[in-house]
Amino acid sequence: MNQMPFVFYCRPGFESDCAAEIQDFANSYDLAGYPNAKPNSGCVRFYCFDQDSSQQLFEALDINELIFVRQWFWAQQELDDLPLQDRITPILGAVAITTTDNIQAQKVLVEHLDDDAGRELSKFCKKFTTPLTIALEKHELLDSEGDYQLHLLFLTNNHCLIGISPIGKASELKGGIVRLKFPKDAPSRSTLKLEEAFLSLMSGKKRKQVLRLGNTAVDLGAAPGGWTYQLVKHGLQVTAIDNGPMDKKLMATEHVIHLRENALAWLPEKPVHMLVCDMVEKPSLVAKLMAKWLVQGKTEHAIFNLKLPMKKRYQEVADCLDMICDALEEHEIEYDWHAKHLYHDREEITAYFRRKMPKLN
């Protein structure tokens, strides 16, 4: 029996890294399968060899444990050559087969891939969502108490995959993409990376605890101040470390102290609540630096970018994150972490580490 694939979305150009991560994840559960990825498609399909393995993978997958995956679902139906005059009727029939007493969908996400062909479908998908949702509700195929979400991935305007994912274990956003508006007064577009990191990598509780007036932060490699801007926006007092110039408007807020120091060597006398770092350095060098700050208790929270090489990017990420984890465990320090290839990242991933330590005065 042919197994329906799991579908994973990623940034176009990172299909091999996404596939390597998924294969690694499946191997960790002793589940046999193989990925299939078309270069620059923004999509990876993963096929298990039997239904039991597919079911186990479905239950194990969690978007929060995957770095290069933006969104995922388990495909249940594939509809090709949909009649353009009435796509909804065959889709309703397929959804009726997909949803059962045990699988109740709470919501529907009408999605497209992030490649050139997929982006051309964005207006269609947005326009199609409302009439489809109304039809699904009319036929009682959506349940506000359901534990799953329904995915319709359109590959063309008459070809789609229909699948499911558990609420809370896949992204609740279409395509897994966080849409943000660039602030006109921000010094650089890099500010969107840190804003997305706050929303994607930190829980609401952690954001409330850390991102508040009076707390302290350090921004390594700060100039011209894209990341410092986000910290100041939340009321933090920031020490910006960079030999380059900082944005004048940002400095006028009086929330920033600018030190022209070597960001790789400088350390604060007293611990700060948050460290952020967006430097163009080797990822292993940045990982080593983050480990030093965390092990020495110079910060409780750290958000940083790892700039990736052209090849074996997944392995480089795994090695760098393992380096930090090993250092913390060697010193018997409790911690948690989360890393993601964010929508506003390019040739990098963003990681968040929290070292559990006594509260700062």
Give me the active site residues, please: 307
| Closest among 264, 274, 200 to 234, alpha carbons compared | 274
Distances (CA, A) of 307 to 109, 201, 316, 340: 32, 18, 10, 13
**Residue whose C-alpha is closest to residue 102's, from 35, 55, 61, 69:** 55
Cα gap 226→124, rounded to integer Å: 34
Strand partners for 350: 305, 340
Could you say which DSSP state residue 183 is in?
P
**C-alpha to C-alpha distance for 349 and 345, rounded to whole angstroms:** 6
Find out whether the peptide bond into 358 is cis, omega within 30 degrees of 0. Answer: no
Enumerate the β-bridge partners of residue 150: 108, 164
> Dihedral of CA 318/323/329/330: which sign?
positive
Q: Which residue has the tokens 């194990």?
A: 60
What residue type is assigned to position 109 of the chain?
L
How many CA within 13 A on the CB side of residue 73? 29
Give strand ranges (E) for 97-146: 105-111
Residue with tokens 């359109």: 154
Classified as helix, coil or strand, 11 is coil
Tell me if residue 334 falls in helix, strand or coil.
coil
**187-198: b (≥16 Cβ within 10 Å) or e:** bbebbbbbbbbb
